[in-house]
Amino acid sequence: MQPGTFEVLVLGSNGALPAYERFPSSQLLHVNERLYLIDCGEGTQFQLRKYGVRISRIRQIFITHLHGDHVYGLPGLITTFQLMRRSEKLEIFGPPGIQSFCEQVLGWTTSQLQFELRCHELRELNGVQFFDDEAVRVSALPLEHKVPCVGYLFREKKERRKLDAVRLRAEGIPEICWRSLERGEDVQLPDGRRLAHAEYTISPPPGRSFAYCADTIYTRALLPYLHKVDLLYHETTFLHELEATAKEYGHSTTVQAAELAREADVRALLTGHYSARYEDPETLAMECRSVFAPVITGKEGLKIIVPWPREAGAPYATV
């Protein structure tokens, strides 16, 4: 089977205060045929359109917290779904308060919503899985910010176990049984032998993973969840000289994000949520690279393609 798509598109890389024509926080994860929107700062719908995303295909939106630069694009996006006569259900996940936020926004729309909008407030942030579909499993991570804040870990779903054709042939198992084994069933042969599904199938390699960690101070509580993820987005709001400021405002520095990435042994770190004081994101990314090499500088429109199969040390393609 061909590996599917696993890509992250950066829609907004800026912190709270507008600067340098950057947009506030939003990213789109594309796994196989599924699109997942993560955070939705003001203008996200314009960015989605600019980069050619078919927004009707977004079925889930994951909100980290209720600060404006992560959520003020929701009212416009919901209105646009309504104007486009969306009919598919839309699910929004977020911290406590997201339900009330959406209810107020719906109170502003002048017509009855034509699609189902379901909000889910997440309270368990200890890595427990709260969502899955054909493509991914998603779990919630404990971030530490000025307000309740949820990180997200997306894991590509493993394909179902594949037949161990070599063994099946070697043992002369008739092909008529193969399909049942592949489906997950155990099989009883006419000669009395019992074939266990688990023994005649092979575990596929683990799926790719993406963790989204913003906004947050540097916290080692994240480490257990981030071990060896393929792509870690961790905010890099400030250069490390502003470590005290970062902590005061509930943010992280470049060096802190890079240290976490190194400790968690992730394959690549994506930067973002830049303070308005920095014109060039490369300044921040370069400081990360003094600690941890595989750093991708987040910028509006950047698409990061997480490859399959993994190749040790190979940089990810970006578009």
Binding site for its own copies (CB under 8 A): 16-19, 21, 23-24, 42-43, 45-46, 49-50, 66-69, 72-73, 75-76, 79-80, 83-84, 101, 104, 107-110, 146-147
> With respect to its own copies, which residue has the nearer C-beta, 79 or 245?
79
Report which of 162, 168, 165, 157 is spatially closest to residue 204, judged by C-alpha positions.
162
| In the complex, minimum distance from the CB of residue 47 to its own copies, in angstroms, rounded to a whole number | 10
Q: Residue 289: enclosing H or E segment and its boundaries? A: helix 281-289
| In the complex, minimum distance from the CB of residue 300 to its own copies, in angstroms, rounded to a whole number | 12
Q: What 8-state DSSP symbol labels residue 204?
A: P
Per annotation, catalytic residue among 69, 133, 186, 265: 69
> With respect to its own copies, which residue has the nearer C-beta, 106 or 286?
106
> With respect to its own copies, which residue has the nearer C-beta, 85 or 194?
85
Q: Residue 210: enclosing H or E segment and its boundaries? A: strand 209-213
Bond into 133 cis (ω within 30): no
| In the complex, minimum distance from the CB of residue 48 to its own copies, in angstroms, rounded to a whole number | 8
Residue 158 φ/ψ, nearest 5 degrees: -65, 140
Contacts by 247-250 with C-beta closer than 8 Å and gap 24+? 247/217, 249/146, 250/144, 250/145, 250/146, 250/215, 250/216, 250/217
**Residue 69: active-site member:** yes
| In the complex, minimum distance from the CB of residue 80 to its own copies, in angstroms, rounded to a whole number | 6
Bond into 215 cis (ω within 30): yes
> With respect to its own copies, which residue has the nearer C-beta, 17 or 189?
17
In this structure, are residues 303 and 5 in contact, taking their beta carbons and an 8 Å threshold?
Answer: no
Catalytic residues: 69
